[in-house]
Amino acid sequence: MINALTSLNCAGTLLDLSQPRVMGILNLTPDSFYDGGFYASEPAVLQHCERLLAEGATIIDIGGASSRPGAPSIEPEVELARNLPAIRSIRRAFPQALLSVDTYWGSVARAVVGEGVQLINDISAGQMDPQLWPTLAELKVPYILMHMQGRPRDMQSAPQYESVTVEVLDFLIEKVGQLREMGLYDIVIDPGFGFGKTIAHNYQMLAEFSAFRILGLPVLAGLSRKSMIYKTLDVSAAEALNGTTALHMVALQGGASILRVHDVAEARQTIRLWEQLERAKPALHQTAAPHAPDGR
């Protein structure tokens, strides 16, 4: 039995992950693949956050740089120009909200944690800024460690794996060991659906999702409206909610602790249905015994 980490210390706030939680996405970018440019004003940001929280988001994940396929890297100053005003407004309006920032820059992490952000979500696993991990070790904030092959600008050009789940898992195991040597223990892992993977790679990882639980750490599933859904269904990202919901159930059955989503209400409904299904399992085992044939 693996002793799983079921809580994170978020700047003194204990985040209970013994049951799945929803991370609501707030993209402040003009070019994100689904909702780029939607939240370019303070009223739009606050209205969206109010909705995320009302619908049941435990965490709001704020992104100031697009990581869609083909996206260029932007300077930390540009990220901060987008992030800091929004963070300050959200903190004033929703002081109890649990905030995460999606960044791979150490300077951005330091600045946003100084404004009250409690988690850092990094697509690069510390590989795009050598100052990120030492900064996090100093700040002692929980860290979401994601696998990506390549960089956003080129990650989908020709991703190659012999065994995608094994290789991603090996990568995450190595990085978790390095983080622990630096004194970072509040870690969430993310296999990185859509980040340097083909559609086939993504579905292979999802089919084997429970393998990522071997680390005994919470696992985040970032599937929401991604191309692995809308390309498979031959629809647009705007039409991919039904497919997203279907794959969220698969991820929950594989042990997902956090669903990172655009659509919080639907994700919460999926979790409630999964919980009902889980509660039914012991009852099924208990009622099966009386129907066993005599003599067995």
Say which amino acid occupies 43.
P
Q: Which of 222, 146, 214 is nearest to 179 (CA)?
A: 146
pLDDT band at 231 (very low <50, low <70, confident <90, very high): very high
Residue 221 near residue 21 (C-beta atoms within 8 A): no
Domain span including residue 286: 7-291
| Segment 152-203, tens digit of pLDDT | 666 667 788 999 999 999 999 999 999 999 999 999 999 999 999 999 999 9
Say which amino acid occupies 5.
L
Check residue 41 and give its pLDDT. 81
Q: Which of 151, 253, 133 is nearest to 192 (CA)?
A: 151
Check residue 295 and give its pLDDT. 45
Distance CA 90, CA 216 (A): 33
Q: CA quadruple 69, 75, 80, 81: dihedral positive or negative? A: negative
The answer to whether residue 90 is domain-embedded is yes
Q: How high is the mean pLDDT of the chain?
A: 90
Beta-bridge partners for 10? 13
88 included as an active-site residue: no
| Segment 27-78, tens digit of pLDDT | 898 765 555 567 678 898 999 999 999 999 999 999 988 776 666 778 899 9
Burial class (CB in 10 A: 0-12, 13-18, 19+), 73: middle
The answer to whether residue 296 is domain-embedded is no
Is the predicted pLDDT of residue 139 greater than 50, yes or no? yes
The answer to whether residue 267 is domain-embedded is yes
CA atoms within 13 A of residue 161's CA, in its CB half-sphere: 25
The answer to whether residue 153 is domain-embedded is yes
The answer to whether residue 1 is domain-embedded is no
Tell me how far CA of residue 105 lies from CA of 41, 47, 57, 147, 222, in angstroms: 24, 28, 25, 16, 21
Is the predicted pLDDT of residue 289 greater than 90, yes or no? no
Lookup: tokens for 132: 């990120």
Is the predicted pLDDT of residue 293 greater than 50, yes or no? no
260 included as an active-site residue: yes
Question: From the candidates 260, 268, 281, 296, which is the catalytic residue?
Answer: 260
Distance CA 68, CA 66 (A): 6
Check residue 294 and give its pLDDT. 45
The residue among 282 and 249 whose pLDDT is bigger is: 249
Distance CA 291, CA 288 (A): 6
CATH number of 200's domain: 3.20.20.20
Lowest-confidence pick of 4-13, 56-65, 112-121, 159-168? 4-13
Q: Which of 215, 188, 208, 194 is nearest to 251 (CA)?
A: 208
Average pLDDT over residues 239-263: 97
Percent of the chain whose pLDDT exceeds 70: 88
The residue among 278 and 287 whose pLDDT is bigger is: 278
Question: From the candidates 140, 226, 231, 281, which is the catalytic residue?
Answer: 226
pLDDT band at 283 (very low <50, low <70, confident <90, very high): low
Number of domains in the chain: 1
DSSP secondary structure letter of residue 73 = P
Lowest-confidence pick of 114-118, 121-125, 156-160, 212-216? 156-160
Distance CA 101, CA 229 (A): 25
Is the predicted pLDDT of residue 210 greater than 80, yes or no? yes
User: Where would I find the beta strands (DSSP E) of 44-97?
Assistant: 59-63
